[in-house]
Amino acid sequence: MHVFLETERLVLRPFTEADADHLLALDNDPEVMRFINGGEPTRRETVEAKVLPRLLHDHPCSGTRGFWAAEEKATGTFLGWFEFRPLDDHDPAVVELGYRLNQASWGKGYATEGSRALIDKGFTELGVERVTANTMTVNSRSRRVMEKSGLTFLRNFTGDWPDAIPGSEHGEVEYELTRAEWQRRR
């Protein structure tokens, strides 16, 4: 197994086709998906035809994928995934940070630990100049992870929700961290 990144408690590795069952379970937990699609179930066909191809995509500008399967280092248990994806396939300067972890791993600091490690790797090894992240305004847990990971609030905005879900009427928020600010804090 190729390891992209290790932290004290996490291993981040590339996804494979064999991860379909893990992704299906993750995306079929209504609480995990509450701020993504209102908690609606995801069909296996959707995971195989849409989700997995997105997670398996290689970005030419960074020579890496943009999504990483997260496993607990001590047990190998699948916890979910992290996103650290260039917004432009041909320019690594701006990446989007994201995470989706199963409920059993919530409240243990995994999201912050993985996010901080990705940010450090991005600024030291991958040519990243700016990290951005967004979520629904009402998703206070995700916003707290962004803040604990070093990102600061940038703006409120209204996203284009094809199907409105509870809370979407409050809009979304964007957070960011620039390389200059990251270096200043070190």
Half-sphere exposure of 1 (CA within 13 A, CB side): 17
Could you read off the pLDDT of 143-169 as tens digits, one per residue? 999 999 999 999 999 977 778 899 999
* Global pTM exceeds 0.85: yes
Could you read off the pLDDT of 93-150 as tens digits, one per residue? 999 999 999 999 999 999 999 999 999 999 999 999 999 999 999 999 999 999 999 9
What does the alpha-carbon distance between residue 90 and residue 121 come to, in Å, rounded to a whole number?
19
Decide: 93 and 128 in contact? Cβ < 8 Å.
yes
Q: For residue 80, give the nearest of 89, 92, 72 by alpha carbon.
A: 72
- DSSP category for residue 138: T
